Amino acid sequence: MKKTLILCGLIIAGITASFGQAKKPTIMVVPSDNWCIKNGFTMEFDNEGTKVVIPDYKKAFQQSTEVKLAVSAINGMMADRGFPLKDLESIMKSLESDAAEDAMRTSKSGAEVAENPVDILKKKAKADIIMELTWTVNKTGPKKSITWILRGLDSYTNKQVASAQGTGAPSMSAEVPVLIQEAVTAHIDNFNVQLQAHFDDMFVNGREIILRVKVWDDWDYDLESEDFGDDELGMIIEEWMDENTQKGRYNTTDMTETMALFEQVRIPMYNAKGRALDARGFAKVLYKKLKGDPMNIPCKLVQKGLGRATIYLGGK
């Protein structure tokens, strides 16, 4: 009897612990566009007559020891804080090898792996928070110093959630890698204090996401249709947002007959069942309401990481 009770207790504790964990954001260090362009790690392509310059991370990691050192030092210190980061260079290698494997793979019946244009577009290194890194080496006579900027950017809300910047002490003897290591050591704690504050805010006021509602052009209705309840469809969705966001916090940034954009949407970290919630989990409840009785609107739910979801109305 006693053993059964203990076993039950352990199972309940296990379930509670697994439900008590919120979805952990992924973080990745990326050299900034500014640094890549200044150091020549770029590639160009012609976008319908306009020359576009974008950073070439692969080239940067292959040719610059400094960028490898800076990224590795930050990764190491974040891992030490119990928050291991995604490694950009490894992800790029994985993407390449996955693409090669997918290209060669065929089923027994000879079919190839299905991939739509959006899948191809989404095949890039991504993380929920990007740590964007810039540094410049300043030279005054024989003295060298480093000006350092580290910014933490939320990939979905585009908000800067943490930053650390400054210029290190000038040195006549220290090499640039040593100065970079010093800069990381000097600034990472301040960066983490702000990141911690961002996470604390998230646990108190909810996770901030962006939710979009769009309409397929072959659908017979739109967000101004009054066939789905007492009010226009857009207003019904807004009412749902009032009731389901954390303390009713969200902004209706845009609302037309074909699209609705909700920004600064604060969603609870856990749903009513105690399970961790992200943008997809939150939007899924709205999706089910729209799809179910009495509205019966055919729709499609698409997510982008933890913080962005889109519902398309009028079909899959």
Partner 1 sequence: MRKLINKSTLLAVTFIAFGLSSNAQINAKTKKAQKDTEAWKYEIECVGIGKPGTKVIKVWSYSKRAKVATAQAKKNAVHGLIFQGYSGGGQGCTNQKALVTDPSVGEQKKEFFDNFFDINGGKYMKFVSHSSDSTPEVIGVKIKGYKFKVGVIVTVNTSALRKDLEAAGVIRGLSSGF
Residues making contact with partner 1 (CB under 8 A): 20-25, 73, 76-78, 80-83, 164, 166, 168-169, 181-187, 189-190, 192-193, 195-197, 199-200, 203, 269
φ, ψ for residue 285, nearest 5 deg: -65, -40
C-alpha span between 188 and 305 (Å, rounded): 25
Structure tokens at 192: 């983490």
Query: Judged by CB, which is closer to partner 1: 52, or 79?
Result: 79
C-alpha span between 214 and 301 (Å, rounded): 10
Q: How far is the CB of 17 from partner 1 (least distance, A)?
A: 12
Query: Judged by CB, which is closer to partner 1: 187, or 212?
Result: 187
Q: How far is the CB of 211 from partner 1 (least distance, A)?
A: 22
Query: Judged by CB, which is closer to partner 1: 61, or 148?
Result: 148
Query: Judged by CB, which is closer to partner 1: 39, or 190?
Result: 190
C-alpha span between 252 and 261 (Å, rounded): 6
Pairing between β-strand 129-140 and β-strand 27-31 as defined by DSSP bridges = parallel
Q: Are 242 and 248 in contact (CB under 8 A)?
A: yes
Query: Judged by CB, which is closer to partner 1: 161, or 215?
Result: 161
Q: How many CB atoms lie within 10 A of CB 172?
A: 8
Query: Judged by CB, which is closer to partner 1: 195, or 290?
Result: 195
Q: How far is the CB of 203 from partner 1 (least distance, A)?
A: 6
Q: How far is the CB of 98 from partner 1 (least distance, A)?
A: 26
Distances (CA, A) of 202 to 25, 52, 197, 315: 11, 36, 8, 34
Q: How far is the CB of 172 from partner 1 (least distance, A)?
A: 14
Q: How far is the CB of 161 from partner 1 (least distance, A)?
A: 13
178-210 b/e with 16+ CB inside 10 Å = b? ebbbbbbeebbeebbeebeebbeebeeebbbbb
Q: How far is the CB of 185 from partner 1 (least distance, A)?
A: 5
Q: Are 273 and 16 in contact (CB under 8 A)?
A: no
Query: Judged by CB, which is closer to partner 1: 59, or 151?
Result: 151
